């Protein structure tokens, strides 16, 4: 990731310096990306501090206990936890913070870690449709079509539900159904400092409430992260490290957008326009989703959405949503298709979990085909029935 991050950023800077990307176009791109970078940096700091306050550990162990030792119930509950975390705290948060928690929980419960790890990464991607904050691509789309969070959620509710059901079926068939029917219930997790735990719980709840109320995602994420940071300065200063700041991620996104804007400036827009078309109806929706998903697995979901967005006519809101579904649900097949998947793979490697990438690619391909069909089909149904 460090080499990829450095390479993208240098390539973006060189493109501007050599005028491959005009300065005015680069500044416009950075101006559009800046609020997203503020949000992304603040929400990851919020989530990292919440993790250090052991908020996620408490949630995970309570979910494990609530399932009463039944694997079927645990599957449904962790499916819900991963989906909710992704929807409200961003897919990268799920990948970075929920992954080590579920791996530790699997160890405490005597469960194989792979099914829980796969639930995390698949839901990190496929459950990122519901709200603007769930994915950086959603923030771009919501800004483009002018939808507030609740209106955006209403538009995406049925496609999101279809995606979660479809990916849940795939997870059960490929990874969960062979597990023993019962597991050992781990003891409750008690946080070391209950003051920090309750401050973290309150900050996360306030962040979610602010987002649903329609507050600026940048403002509410910075405010809640600042409150929790203040609590750590008083009660947990030893937990604070400079590495809490996700500078690599912010540099990666900045470089990625500059590189994509450069490629767009030199002909990618016309290629995408030819592939996606301008039909605002079901055919255009399906084409946009398929192109977005395919390109995401060749490049990455962020540049794929940005390139596709420029090719979709401004008035074609449903076609843009189709593209968004493709770039959110589609990037599962290869690890580089989504930043969340790369971060997840790093966390799995750090925890000693070996991923069989051949099996991962094959099962993910089936999951993408089924999930993309279900979610795009749900959107087309909404469009056709009015």
Q: Can you tell me the mean pLDDT for 224-246?
A: 91
**Using one digit for the tens of pLDDT, what is the confidence trace for 68-111?**
899 999 999 989 989 998 998 888 878 877 887 888 888 878 88
Nearest-angstrom CA–CA distance, 84 and 87: 5
* pLDDT for position 35: 82
- Please state, in angstroms and as integers, the Cα–Cα distance from residue 72 to each residue in 58, 102, 176, 255, 295, following that order: 21, 16, 8, 43, 35
d(CA 75, CA 12): 43
Q: Which of 127, 108, 167 is nearest to 340 (CA)?
A: 127
Output 60 or 289, whichever has higher pLDDT. Answer: 289
Q: Which residues contact 323 (CB under 8 A, 6 or more apart)?
A: 276, 288, 289, 291, 292, 305, 308, 309, 312
The answer to whether 271 and 308 have CB atoms below 8 angstroms apart is: no
pLDDT of 269 strictly over 80: no
**% of the chain with per-residue pLDDT over 70:** 99
Q: Which of 197, 262, 261, 254 is nearest to 231 (CA)?
A: 197
**Confidence band of 1 (pLDDT split at 50, 70, 90):** low
Contacts within 8 Å (CB) and 24+ apart, 101-107: 101/51, 101/56, 101/57, 101/59, 101/60, 102/60, 102/78, 103/347, 103/348, 103/351, 103/353, 104/57, 104/60, 105/60, 105/61, 105/64, 105/186
- Work out the average pLDDT over 346-356: 83
* Residue 182: C-alpha distances to residues 15, 98, 144, 377 (Å): 56, 23, 48, 36
d(CA 381, CA 328): 19
With CA atoms as reference, report the closest residue to 257 among 1, 2, 15, 76.
Answer: 15
Interval 151-186: pLDDT, tens? 889 989 999 999 999 999 999 999 999 898 898 888
Q: What is the pTM of this model?
A: 0.80
Which residues, listed in sequence order, are joined to residue 182 by a DSSP beta bridge? 70
Instruction: Please report the pLDDT score of residue 60 as a whole number.
Output: 81
Mean pLDDT of all residues in 271-295: 91
Question: Rounded mean pLDDT of the chain?
Answer: 89
Distance, CA of 353 to CA of 344 (rounded, Å): 11
Least confident of 84-88, 230-234, 344-348: 344-348
Give the tens place of pLDDT for each residue, 24-59: 989 988 887 888 788 878 888 888 898 899 988 888
Q: How far is residue 58's CA from residue 197's CA, in Å, rounded to a whole number?
A: 9
Backbone angles phi, psi at 70, to 5 degrees: -100, 125
Distance CA 371, CA 327 (A): 12
* Least confidently predicted of 62-71, 166-175, 279-288: 62-71
Instruction: Report the Cα 21 to chain-centroid distance in Å.
Output: 28
d(CA 24, CA 137): 23
């Amino acid at each position: 990731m460090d080499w990829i991050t450095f390479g993208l950023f240098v390539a973006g800077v060189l493109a501007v310096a050599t005028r491959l990307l005009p300065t005015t176009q680069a500044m416009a791109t950075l101006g559009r990306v800046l609020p997203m970078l503020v949000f992304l940096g603040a929400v990851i700091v919020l989530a990292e501090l919440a993790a250090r306050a052991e908020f996620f550990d408490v949630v995970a162990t309570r979910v494990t206990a609530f399932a009463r030792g039944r694997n079927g119930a645990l599957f449904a509950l962790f499916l819900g936890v991963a989906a909710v975390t992704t929807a409200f705290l961003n897919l990268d948060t799920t990948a970075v913070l929920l992954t080590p928690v579920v791996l530790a929980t699997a160890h405490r419960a005597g469960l194989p870690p792979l099914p829980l790890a796969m639930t995390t990464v698949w839901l990190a991607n496929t459950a990122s449709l519901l709200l603007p904050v769930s994915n950086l691509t959603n923030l771009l789309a919501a800004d483009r079509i002018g939808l507030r969070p609740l209106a955006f959620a209403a538009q995406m509710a049925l496609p999101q539900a279809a995606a979660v059901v479809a990916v849940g079926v795939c997870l059960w068939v490929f990874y969960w159904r062979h597990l023993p029917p019962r597991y050992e219930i781990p003891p409750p997790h008690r946080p070391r400092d209950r003051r920090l735990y309750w401050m973290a719980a309150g900050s996360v709840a306030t962040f979610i409430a602010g987002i649903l109320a329609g507050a600026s995602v940048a403002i509410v994420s910075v405010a809640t992260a600042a409150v929790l940071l203040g609590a750590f300065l008083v009660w947990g200063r030893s937990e604070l490290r400079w590495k809490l700041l996700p500078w690599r991620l912010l540099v990666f996104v900045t470089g990625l957008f500059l590189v994509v804007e450069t490629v767009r400036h030199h002909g990618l827009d016309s290629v995408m326009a030819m592939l996606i078309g301008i039909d605002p109806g079901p055919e255009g929706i399906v084409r946009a989703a398929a192109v977005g998903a395919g390109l995401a697995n060749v490049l990455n979901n962020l540049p794929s959405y940005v390139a596709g967005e420029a090719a979709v006519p401004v008035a074609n809101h449903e076609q843009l949503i189709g593209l968004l579904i493709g770039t959110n649900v589609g990037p599962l097949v290869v690890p580089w298709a989504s930043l969340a998947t790369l971060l997840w793979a790093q966390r799995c490697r750090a925890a000693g979990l070996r991923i069989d990438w051949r099996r991962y690619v094959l099962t993910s391909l089936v999951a993408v085909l089924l999930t993309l069909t279900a979610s795009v089909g749900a959107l087309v149904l909404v469009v056709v029935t009015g």
